[in-house]
């Protein structure tokens, strides 16, 4: 499964990067490809490419605030959760993404 996502918390520091790291580790552990963009106090990092978004099976938005360029994910399956969920239960979130994809087969 190919996953892309965005992490963004209200302060734009700790939870943004912790959510990114936890999701990347959980996805890789489950054998999936993942690319996570962060939108924090220093701006957008690890910008997702059009190609990555196009090839993605699912989008995970671990966000507590409005993100920029959300429209690029239109037409994709999206799971949106607070950053706290990505931080505390990243493995369950990846399992949820798997379930969502399997339901649509």
Residues classed as catalytic: 9
Distance CA 9, CA 67 (A): 10
Token pair for 1: 């499964």
For the chain, strand residue ranges (E) read 2-8, 33-40, 43-45, 58-63, 78-81
* HSE value, Cβ hemisphere, 13 Å, CA-based, for 47: 8
């Amino acid at each position: 499964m190919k996953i892309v996502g965005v992490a963004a918390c209200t302060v734009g520091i700790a939870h943004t990067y912790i959510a990114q790291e936890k999701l990347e580790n959980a996805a890789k552990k489950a054998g999936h490809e993942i690319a996570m963009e962060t939108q924090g106090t220093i701006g957008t990092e690890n910008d997702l490419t059009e190609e990555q978004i196009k090839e993605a099976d699912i989008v995970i938005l671990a966000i507590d605030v409005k993100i920029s360029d959300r429209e690029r994910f239109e037409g994709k399956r999206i799971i949106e959760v607070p950053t706290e969920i990505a931080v505390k239960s990243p493995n369950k979130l990846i399992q949820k993404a798997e379930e969502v994809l399997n339901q649509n087969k």
